């Protein structure tokens, strides 16, 4: 068995409580890492993507990204750096 899971989180600006947004993102981070460990033996990768308002070719579900798992990928043009 093999496969890819890409979890995507939304931005926090203008979305209400930043505290709740941070809790949600922390939960997704933990879930991503746990699932990556649990499913890695089945050749299933799990990654978390934090997209920004930028056009990007970032695609953690591509075959070329097969070795990346349990990662948080930020695609925001460096705005959160």
> pLDDT confidence of 12, banded at 50, 70, 90?
very low
Q: Per-residue pLDDT tens for 43-66?
A: 999 999 888 777 777 787 788 888
User: Minimal CA–CA distance to 80: which of 50, 57, 55?
Assistant: 50
56: how many CB neighbours lie within 10 A of its CB? 12
Q: What domains are there in the chain, each with its CATH number? A: 3-75 (3.40.50.720)
SS3 78: coil
Residue 14 confidence (pLDDT) above 50? no
Question: How high is the pLDDT of residue 53?
Answer: 77
> Residue 11: exposed, middle, or buried by beta-carbon count in 10 A (0-12, 13-18, 19+)?
middle
């Amino acid at each position: 068995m093999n496969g890819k899971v890409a979890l995507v989180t939304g931005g926090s600006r203008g979305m209400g409580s930043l505290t709740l947004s941070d809790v949600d993102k922390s939960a997704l981070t933990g879930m991503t890492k746990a699932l990556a460990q649990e499913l890695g033996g089945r050749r299933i990768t799990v990654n978390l993507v934090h997209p920004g308002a930028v056009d990007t070719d970032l695609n953690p579900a591509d075959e070329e990204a097969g070795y990346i798992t349990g990662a948080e990928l930020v695609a925001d043009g460096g705005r959160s750096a």
